[in-house]
Amino acid sequence: MGAGRFAPSPSGRLHIGNLRTAVLAWLFAHSTGRDYLLRVEDLDRVRAGSEDEQLAELKALGLSFDGTMVRQSDRLPVYRAIVDDLKAQGLVYECFCSRKDIAEAGSAPHAAPGSYPGTCRNLTEEERAEKARHRPAALRLRAEANVFTVQDELAGSYTGTVDDFVLVRNDGAPAYNLAVVVDDAASGIDQVVRGDDLLSSAPRQAYLAQLLGYTVPTYAHVPLALNEKGQRLAKRDGAVTLEEITEQGVHPAEIRAFLLESLGLPGQDLQAALEAFDPAALPREPWIVRPENIVQQLMPPASRNR
């Protein structure tokens, strides 16, 4: 039937918004008869010990995974082979632009703001050699489409920009848009559940999947957890990680119940939530989190009244 997945980056502890997405991915996968896989996306920032911490947090909530865990750092030769194949087809070119260069150049006509304007797309060999003297090159996909449409369980039909996005960064590391597409296909992942801040990247990834001959997955981009100012949760918001909340006397099962109830689902256990799960009934608005209220609400009454 395929698989769904949760794919955290080991850059720190998971906050309750991350954990809520992990629970949602579990529900989406199991409600459709799919396996639920874990991938560690460790091509960028990695904090020592984070992977073990995150695995312990997911286990504490009762989330179990099928198959073997995948680390992106173990798959570098695979990404290189894919890029080499695209190069052989004339679909990759060197780009010497900095972020500042791109921002100052503006986007191509009819493209979304921030899209790559194609500055390095048609450089001559001499121009590339000159630019290479001053800055290492990233590798970009020579896209043959301007837009691509994906189907999303919550957003419906979504059409977004496809520009000449980066496949390999100028430090030699595979870019996110390349790695996730290749890894999802290799693991048989045909259902992607993640935060809705990544919805705009789905058309690029789906376009690349199609170009590589992969099945484009179904998507469900779920609302983020935000603080009262409408910003993504961060350490400054206080007790937002499992560790910080449990240190104040709250059991992980109570946190899981809190997460499930925030989705309109019964909180007694994952199986009860699965039986009641209906994607069409999920909240569509961001989840506003007030950390001090979480702790007060979930602390045992005896502790609360001290």
Binding residues, as ranges, are 5-9, 41, 95, 97, 116, 120, 176, 194, 235
Neighbours of 290 (CB within 10 A): 13
Binding residues for ATP: 235
Instruction: Name the residue among 87, 86, 90, 79 with its Cα closest to residue 182.
Output: 79
Binding residues for L-glutamate: 5-9, 41, 176, 194
Binding residues for Zn(2+): 95, 97, 116, 120
Distant-in-sequence, close-in-space partners of 283: CB < 8 Å, separation ≥ 6: 223, 262, 263, 264
Joined together, the tokens standing for residue 40 give 């560690």
